[in-house]
Amino acid sequence: MPLPKAELHLHIEGTLEPELAFELAARNSVPLPYADEDALREAYRFADLQSFLNLYYELMAVLRTERDFEDLAEAYLARAAAQGVRHAEIFFDPQAHLARGVEMGTVVEGLWRALGRSRERHGVSTRLIMCFLRDESAESALATLDAAKPYLDRITGVGLDSAEVGHPPAKFREVYEAAAALGLRRVAHAGEEGPPEYVTEALDVLGVERVDHGLRSVEDPALVERLVRDRVPLTLCPLSNVRLRTVDTLADHPLPAMLDAGLMCTVNSDDPAYFGGYAGDNFDAVRRDLGLTEERLRELARNSFLASFLEDDEELRARYLAEVAAYTFPAA
Ligand SMILES: [Zn+2]
């Protein structure tokens, strides 16, 4: 049995495996410029961020109907459950779908078909977090929040993702204020490629409760001190960092030093179909390449539940934390 954990940094569009991409392409008569699944899998070995994003948006074309989004989420939940994920807070990018003529309702209700039965079917509780694309305008983000208003009973919070550099958090002050007024929780990607100042800005201007990635926070000792003092969770994605060359190799990842500094780190998969592994694969990789002890792994699992948005079900959080505390690691 794998270590129980929560996944807090997961883009549902980034869970599209080549097999499902081909299945959905056939179902919807969307042509894909790849001969077969193997050729597509080869394309998943992209060289840099831009080639990743190009492929990521190209493949989204196969997602058309509620059933497509349901199948996408269902496939993720099954894989995540098999790797010990007990709770998943799932990002989705509505602007990427709205731009293709796919309505907000199709996306949210489609995802919800799988999420709504996930505890029963997979033993995985879920929350949905709507992300704004930071390379789109602030006006577009506001219009997206507006389009989501009929579905707010399905949406726990808002996030901010896509190309970071040149798009500082403050650009989205207004939409985050509006989201807060609607009672939505707030997170944002910051300090992945962008500087530590973006992390500070996400905290001060957007009022985020968790920072997605936040890796470059380590460059600013005062910021680290603040994150430690305020117990601000960071959702790290080690395999993603290697694939996007944020770190050279996994052995160079600052995770052990960040834990030693007292930062509240969690380990997540980001876009697992593209970055070489799901949540459990990330845990296995940091255990192997960074030599993390069982107690460190247990701390990461505990952090993931403490950092999750389970304030509306503290009993469930307590149950998950008890599972983590009672977990026995298999002999290595
Ligand atoms: Zn991400």
Query: What pLDDT, in 10s, does the model give residues 248-284?
Result: 999 999 999 999 999 999 999 999 999 999 999 999 9
pTM more than 0.95? yes
- Residue 127: per-residue pLDDT: 98
Dist. CA 235 → ligand 1 center (Å) = 9
CATH of the domain at 142: 3.20.20.140
Q: What is the pLDDT of residues 59-69, one digit of tens each?
A: 999 999 999 99
Q: What is the mean pLDDT of residues 73-92?
A: 98
What percent of the chain lies above the pLDDT cut of 70? 100
* 244 vs 127, more confident: 127
Distance from CA of residue 47 to its chain's centroid?
21
> Which stretch of 9-13, 34-38, 127-131, 171-175 has the lowest confidence by average pLDDT?
34-38
Spacing, Cα 10 to ligand 1 middle (Å): 7
Q: Which residues pair with 210 in a beta bridge?
A: 187
How many folded domains does the chain comprise?
1
- Ligand 1 centroid distance, CA of 274 (Å): 12
270 has binding-site annotation: yes
* 133 within domain boundaries: yes
C-alpha of residue 296 to centroid of ligand 1, in Å: 23
Q: Is residue 71 part of a domain?
A: yes
Burial of 101 (C-beta count, 10 Å sphere; 0-12/13-18/19+): exposed
Instruction: Return the amino acid letter for 117.
Output: R
192 has catalytic annotation: yes
Q: Is 11 annotated as contributing to ligand binding?
A: yes
Q: Decide if 172 contacts 132 (C-beta within 8 A).
A: yes
| 166 phi-psi bin (left φ>0, alpha ψ -120 to 50, beta other) | left
Considering the domain boundaries, does residue 331 fall inside one?
no
d(CA 89, CA 214) in angstroms, rounded, equals: 18
User: Residue 69's domain spans which residues?
Assistant: 5-326
Tell me, yes or no, whether 10 lies in a domain: yes
Q: Tell me the percentage of the chain whose pLDDT exceeds 90.
A: 91
Q: In b/e form, how buried is each residue of 258-284, taking b as 16+ CB within 10 angstroms? A: bbebebbbbbbbbbbbbbbbbbbbbbb
Residue 332 belongs to a domain: no
Question: Whole-angstrom Cα distance, residue 208 to residue 247?
Answer: 25
Query: How high does pLDDT run on average in the chain?
Result: 96
DSSP 2: P
Of 66, 192, 193, 201, catalytic: 192
Strand ranges across the sheet with 264-267: 5-11, 85-92, 125-133, 157-161, 185-190, 210-213, 233-236, 264-267
Q: Is the pLDDT of residue 160 over 70?
A: yes
Q: Is 97 flagged in the annotation as binding? A: no
Helix, strand, coil percent content, the chain, rounded in steps of 5: 55, 15, 30
